[in-house]
Amino acid sequence: MPINSSNSRRQQLNINIDPSLLLQAKSCAIKNGKTLTEFVVDALTSKICELTNNLEQSNEIEMEYIVHQMLEELVKGKKFSDLGSIEYSKVLSNTFQQLVIEKDTTLPKALEEIEKVIDPFLVPSLLIDNEGRRNLATAEQQILLVKEILIGSSVASADHLNQAVAQTGTCPALKSLELFAGRKLPLLNLYFLKAIDSKGESQSH
């Protein structure tokens, strides 16, 4: 995120630095046609932006690791629990509502955007009929379920999540929300991971 260094209400920062570093700073300031203060502020701004970008990249790598770890857990035979699925659904809904406010849009428009990006993540076995044709009715049912989960009128079941991950490797609502947000959603990924039953068996009946 860019740092606004043009704020008229600046605050003073007193720091102790090595004399040789101070001389280097003064020399660089002169070479760049800046005052010492201007040079130091610009240097700090540049470095802070660099560190921030590195942190964001690190968070993205961490999220990829989390998802990979989650899939490894499922491969070991563990399944989503009903309780974990309910908690995950609540976070899905809360995240969606926060994003609607953040993007300064309306709920209907936000749901329209979700519908535009969700198709690649729908569960394949629920889309194809016995003759190998796309079943529009079941596609609409899946999309409707995701919408209901996002607005908080329904929750994802353990069976639904198990089926979705087994066939697509992810959760349709999660991927749709990340595309809607335009970024990774760390908290949502963590709750997705936490929804896995630690005992290794689904609690769904």
Higher pLDDT, 40 or 99: 99
Instruction: Please report which confidence band the pLDDT of residue 162 belongs to, taking 50, 70 and 90 as the band edges.
Output: confident
3-state helix, strand, coil in the chain (%, to 5): 65, 0, 30
Quick check: 158 pLDDT over 50? yes
Token look-up 């970024």 returns 183
Please answer whether residues 63 and 189 qualify as being in contact, where contact means their C-beta atoms are separated by less than 8 angstroms. yes
Average pLDDT over residues 146-160: 89
Give one word for 169, left, alpha or beta, with left for phi > 0 and alpha for psi -120 to 50: left
Range name among 5-9, 51-55, 135-139, 193-197 with the lowest pLDDT average: 5-9
Q: How far apart are CA 102 and CA 176, in angstroms?
A: 16
Q: Domain-by-domain residue ranges, the chain?
A: 16-76, 79-194
Average pLDDT over residues 161-168: 80
Quick check: 175 pLDDT over 90? no
Please answer whether residues 110 and 99 qualify as being in contact, where contact means their C-beta atoms are separated by less than 8 angstroms. yes
Task: At 94, list the tokens.
Answer: 């809360």
One-letter amino acid at 23 equals L
Instruction: Please calculate the CA angle 49-52-55 and round it to the nearest 5 degrees.
Output: 155
Picking from 176, 173, 169, the residue whose alpha carbon sits closest to that of residue 156 is 173
Quick check: 96 pLDDT over 70? yes
Surface-to-core class of residue 47, CB atoms within 10 Å of its CB (0-12 exposed, 13-18 middle, 19+ buried) = exposed
Higher pLDDT, 201 or 98: 98
Picking from 173, 197, 196, the residue whose alpha carbon sits closest to that of residue 92 is 173
Q: Calculate the CA 60 to chain-centre distance.
A: 9
Please answer whether residues 20 and 29 qualify as being in contact, where contact means their C-beta atoms are separated by less than 8 angstroms. no
User: What integer pLDDT is reported at residue 18 of this predicted model?
Assistant: 83
